[in-house]
Structure 1
């Protein structure tokens, strides 16, 4: 959705009318799934953050801490870059408490006057701090709650807001070890029209294999922002011991525009570490997006 975002920013009437419809600037930066290119956002747990679904921050029995980092870049002069830091702690009660700090920005937006000469750059960025709690309510049901503080800046305008989100994860279901996840994102009760919360969903099942370390899975992901971008599509994954590969074909729509893009990634598991690299193909002359993730579990 990076291309939709940049195209929208290029029509820079946002400095007046666009911002009036966006109480906290740079909401569009949270349309792109930071830390979740490798996995569907509703099921993403690799960086260990639960950023998109607080239920996925829950740690397994026997795990005490999990730490994660993620970095995203387009590798072009004008594009999106983002960073994510996270930490999770499973308490003796079985509840996992997690904290994540994320930042996303668009660079290369040049300020001009009556001629093409640059007068400096226009800042457009957003920060998001999330505190979440998750735990198993039933043997196959995990639920999570997150409270988020978001700050956004567009040129000279800076604002912030507090949001609250709910997420659930059904896992280890009897039919082919199926999983189903559903969550909200940036939900501000009573402000849904102007602040555009999102709903995220994903489901998958085991296509072949007998365990999580040796299996192939097939699934479907969908997300929708209120009065905004939507994306949906199938994805597949395969893991053999320490190596896992994933691929997804996602169809995104925003207004009258639509685009199909391909995501792929590779993860390596060694001891208590997981290292992931993912790529999204660029379209319309824009370069690809690259994501790096690293997470570690301490027992």
Structure 2
């Protein structure tokens, strides 16, 4: 844990010394890439620790985990995102992970003095995260991540370092409850320019006896500084190999609000987990679809 804190504090120092210019395309990371199926603060599939570094931790008996996620919005603008992740549990019990995420909007047309197109406008961002996590005391897992993000909006480009901390209280005595809290894209002293987020989620078991046969309900909330704020309820159920989830989330950005419904199915087979999820109700974007695949190696 001491090494985790040293890494995180060092990254905070580097991030705070970088320029104050905001990195373009920050809003693309308000899409729940890899986290439509699960609340971001608790998202473990495909196991990237992207939204909460603490969820990176692998349990005892597992050595490696790799995962991919793909997100696409069915609109003419072609919004999409991809995530590739990998994690390794060391003999000390610490898990080390690396993830690469990319999000972009295509089909943005450049015009001149008339409506005729004269080209397209690039609008995309990439996020590379290196994280560590471990169980620090029984029922408490903590993690930290160093992140590098680059972005481009037309001719404007930029990049920055950030550092995040997260924790998950898990397997609590009362109904196997879980509580998770994390920061996302935190740059100390640059909160206005790069708009970090705070993520929180909690759930508990309302039926069943173990994680392969259970029903859970919970609450999720995320708030981006000077950006979108989402909150809502979710439920999940698993019966052996099949898992289903649903969530109703209400978001606010500026003076407007929008309600969104998320649903998904996942199949657990041997050491693989395959999932598909859908989010609908985003104004002007239509449904967003997500596909995930992860594999555990013991």
Give distance in 2, aligned partners of 1:272 and 1:44. Answer: 18
Q: 1:105: Cα distance to partner?
A: 0.4
Q: 1:108: Cα distance to partner?
A: 1.4
Q: 1:194: Cα distance to partner?
A: 1.6
CA RMSD of aligned residues (A): 1.1
TM-score by length of 1: 0.92
Counterpart for residue 234 of structure 1: 233
Deviations, residues 173-232 of structure 1 (Å, cap 9, x unaligned) = 011000000000000011112211000000000010000000000000000011111000
Deviations, residues 55-89 of structure 1 (Å, cap 9, x unaligned) = 00000000000000000001222142000000000
Give distance in 2, aligned partners of 1:35 and 1:224. Answer: 18
Counterpart for residue 246 of structure 1: 245
Counterpart for residue 136 of structure 2: 137
Q: Is the 8 A contact 2:258 2:281 kept in 1?
A: no
Counterpart for residue 264 of structure 1: 263
Counterpart for residue 4 of structure 2: none
Q: 1:151: Cα distance to partner?
A: 0.2
Counterpart for residue 223 of structure 1: 222
SS of aligned partner of 2:189:
coil
Give distance in 2, aligned partners of 1:133 and 1:167. Answer: 10
Deviations, residues 24-57 of structure 1 (Å, cap 9, x unaligned) = 0000011111000000000001101000000000
Give distance in 1, aligned partners of 2:165 and 2:234. Answer: 24
Q: Is the 8 A contact 1:48 1:86 kept in 2?
A: yes
Long gaps (5+) in structure 2 = 1-19
Long gaps (5+) in structure 1 = 1-20
Counterpart for residue 112 of structure 1: 111
Deviations, residues 138-185 of structure 1 (Å, cap 9, x unaligned) = 110000000000000000111100000000000000110000000000
* CA distance 1:62–1:189, shift in 2 (3 Å): same
Are 1:192 and 2:191 counterparts? yes
Alignment of 1:63-102 (within 5 A): 63-102=62-101
Residue correspondences, number:
279
